[in-house]
Amino acid sequence: MKSITNSDFADQLANAVLHFVKDKIELVMKEEIKNFLHVEHPDTPNTRNGYYPRTLETRFGKIEELQVPRDRQGDFQTQIFEPYQRRDGWLEEAVIRMYKGGMSTRDVAGFIEQVIGTHYSPTTISNITHTVMEDIQAWQNRPLKKRYSVVYLDGLYFSLRRDSVAKEAIYVAMGIDEDGYRQILGFYVGGIESAHGWKELLQGLYRRGATEVLLGVFDGLTGLEEAFHSVYPKADVQRCVVHKIRNTFPKIRVKDKVEFLDDLKQVYTAPSREDADKQFYRFEAKWEKRYPKEIASWRDDLPVLLTFYKYPEDIRKSIYTTNVIERTIKEFRKRLYPMNSIPNVEAAEKIVYLVVHAYNERWATRIIRGFGMENTKQALEAMFQKRYEKSTESADLEM
């Protein structure tokens, strides 16, 4: 008696599944035409007219000789697939998912050919992912909410091919609305990071309806604070404390690093602004002679580094750094890095959008810790009222 190998069993199981899927699709179509003739159009002189065969590629394999019912007047159309569709959409979805995962169009094409035996050129793969561009345009122009308690700004560099390969920037803006929900509000791909680039992105947010912002959180890029205030003059600015520490850290001698950072931590973890100021005076007195330039830099930036003390205690840990948005930036890097260099801006936009879309869907029902507290919501509402209720003047966008 011939034994059945694992491969034979797998083939038999695959065939059984494929036959099952075929039977169920045909059953659904029989019910569809029955409903079409007797429920939707009971008074028309129309009847069944047998079947016609066709093939359909599914995620379970290719179905041969699928029996599709038809009517004598040719009006019936199944809802399972389009008239000339030969695939159920799973492959296109898989292509987009692989592309999102960081595979190049050439890698995706090779993988598809190995799996289903059908040749797909990199150009074909690019055309499939090009459908995402329409979604990107609609997403970038969608209306935004009027109020955002916090807007985070952060970016990253990636390798982009134009005539040659060079580093270019991706600008990303994330917002937390007055109800405590966060989402990526917009992004821009291309060029060297600059205050002017950020201003253009912020102007876009304003035009789309985000006219009232309480706080902007970002790093110390030259001119960024002025660009932000040119669009949102009534908003506060919180300079990222973590970025400031990173910039200071290399300038401190190894033997002093631990003690210096421990003393500095006492400043931005103090229970109140008054206590933070006291801790800074102690910190300044202890280290100024040894590191005068570094201490002077912290002294100059202290007002925008300690802005978070003006806000409810429950949300301070979420707003004194850009950590919230940096986790998303890391995801972009993970997707872009395997591709070494991106062939064009459009390709980069596709990848960024697919990551953004997934994140926004995931966050849609999650309130950021602290922002859902009733006392926090009341405090933020009072801040919105105080800053914006009496004035309807638009920011000077200098467009």
Task: List pLDDT tens digits, range 104-158.
Answer: 667 777 766 665 556 666 666 666 666 667 788 889 999 999 999 999 999 999 8
Phi, psi for residue 26 in degrees, rounded to 5: -65, -35
Burial 305-330, CB ≥16 within 10 A → b, else e: bbbbbebbeebbebbbbbbbbbebbe
Overall average pLDDT of the 276-301 stretch:
96
Percent share of the chain, pLDDT over 70? 80
Tell me the per-residue pLDDT of 347-356, one tens digit each, with 9 for 90 and over: 888 888 888 9
pLDDT single digits (tens) 380-390: 999 999 999 86
Q: Please say if the pLDDT value at position 297 is more than 90.
A: yes
Compute the residue count for the chain: 399
Q: Which pLDDT belongs to residue 134?
A: 78
Instruction: Give the Cα separation of 304 and 315 in Å (integer).
Output: 17
- pLDDT at residue 395 in the model: 45
pLDDT at 89 over 60: no
Query: Looking at residue 103, what is its pLDDT?
Result: 62
What pLDDT sits at residue 105? 65
Percentage with pLDDT > 90 across the chain: 52
Query: Would you tell me how many other CB atoms lie within 10 Å of the CB of residue 4?
Result: 10
**306-365: per-residue pLDDT in tens?**
999 999 999 999 999 999 999 889 888 887 877 777 888 888 888 888 889 888 988 989
pLDDT tens digits, 248-267: 999 999 999 999 999 999 99
pTM confidence score: 0.71
d(CA 10, CA 297): 68
Higher pLDDT, 163 or 121: 163
Segment among 104-108, 180-184, 376-380 with least mean pLDDT: 104-108
